[in-house]
C-alpha cells in the first residue's frame, strides 16, 4: 500500500503524519481502538479540543475502562469543567 501512495504521490490526511502518526482514522477516541491511550495522549497534546470532546462523549465508557484499568490508566481522568 505504501508503495502505491508514494508512486502516485497521494497526499493523505495530516493525522497519518508526524506528530500524530495515526495508523487509521475512524471515530475519534473510539473505545474499541487497541491503541486508545496513545490516541488520547496525542489528542491531548496536539488537539486539546478534540481530546475534551472525546472525554465528554465517551465518558461513561472511559470511566468504566479506567475502573477496570482496561486500555486507560485509572488515575488519568481529565476534569473537563
Per DSSP, the residues of 5-44 read HHHTTPPPPGGGSTTT--S--SSTT-TT-TTHHHHHHHHH
The string of pLDDT tens digits covering residues 23-58 is 876 788 999 988 899 999 999 999 999 999 999 999
pLDDT at 79: 55
Name residues whose C-beta falls within 8 Å of residue 66's C-beta, 6 or more positions apart in sequence: 72, 73, 74, 76, 77
How confident is the prediction for the chain on average, in pLDDT? 87
Whether this prediction's pTM lies above 0.95 is answered by no
The span from the first CA to the last CA of the chain, in angstroms, equals: 43
Would you place residue 81 in the very low, low, confident or very high pLDDT band (cuts 50, 70, 90)?
very low
pLDDT at 16: 86
Residue 75 predicted with pLDDT over 90: no
Amino acid at each position: 500500500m505504501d508503495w502505491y501512495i508514494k508512486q502516485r504521490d497521494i497526499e493523505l490526511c495530516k493525522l497519518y503524519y508526524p506528530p500524530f502518526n495515526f495508523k487509521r482514522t475512524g471515530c475519534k477516541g473510539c473505545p474499541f481502538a487497541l491503541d486508545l491511550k496513545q490516541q488520547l495522549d496525542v489528542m491531548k497534546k496536539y488537539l486539546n479540543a478534540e481530546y475534551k470532546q472525546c472525554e465528554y462523549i465517551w465518558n461513561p465508557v472511559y470511566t468504566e475502562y479506567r475502573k477496570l484499568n482496561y486500555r486507560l490508566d485509572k488515575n488519568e481522568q481529565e476534569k473537563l469543567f
